[in-house]
């Protein structure tokens, strides 16, 4: 059994985010036991598995990711498509309202 890579850990969590719910980078990093690795989580999001619902992951301000494929508008659309209300001007959502934690944590 190989040691779980950081990348695998992040992918595993993102993969489990239910539709219509959101998680923050720092939140995921905290689940991994290192709140400071938030940016590393974002890096995995970019170079990780594109099939994962990265659109359910936002920054701690509930704002869309600037580097999301198609830009923040695309990210906004993807999230709204799942029933999450997003402010079209600030590209922000009520993170407190949609925040979700894995049952495993």
Among 22, 44, 84, 93, binds DNA (CB under 7 A): 44
54 near DNA (CB under 7 A): yes
Stretch near DNA under the rule CB under 7 A, chosen from 54-62, 81-89, 97-105 = 54-62
Which sign does the torsion angle of CA 16, 98, 49, 9 carry? Answer: negative
Q: Which of 15, 16, 59, 92 binds DNA (CB under 7 A)?
A: 59
Cβ-contact 36, 30 below 8 angstroms: no
Footprint of DNA on 75-104 (CB under 7 A) = none
Among positions 13, 31, 45, 93, the unique one binding DNA when judged by CB under 7 A: 45
Q: Which two tokens mark 73?
A: 């508008």
Q: Which SS3 state, helix, strand or coil, does residue 63 take?
A: strand
Segment interacting with DNA, rule: CB under 7 A, options 66-74, 79-87, 97-105:
66-74
- Smallest CA-to-CA distance from 54 within 42, 63, 40, 37 is with 42
In this structure, are residues 61 and 47 in contact, taking their beta carbons and an 8 Å threshold?
no
**Site of interaction with DNA (CB under 7 A):** 5-7, 24-26, 34-47, 54, 57, 59-61, 65-69
């Amino acid at each position: 059994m190989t040691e779980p890579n950081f990348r695998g850990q992040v992918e595993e969590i993102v993969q489990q985010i239910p539709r219509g719910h959101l998680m923050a980078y720092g939140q995921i990093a905290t689940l991994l036991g290192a709140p400071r690795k938030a940016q590393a989580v974002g890096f995995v999001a970019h170079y990780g598995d594109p099939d994962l619902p990265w659109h359910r992951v936002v920054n701690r301000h509930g704002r869309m990711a600037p580097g999301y494929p198609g830009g923040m508008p695309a990210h906004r659309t993807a999230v709204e498509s799942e029933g999450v209300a997003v402010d079209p001007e600030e590209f922000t959502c009520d993170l407190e309202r949609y925040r979700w934690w894995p049952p495993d944590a």
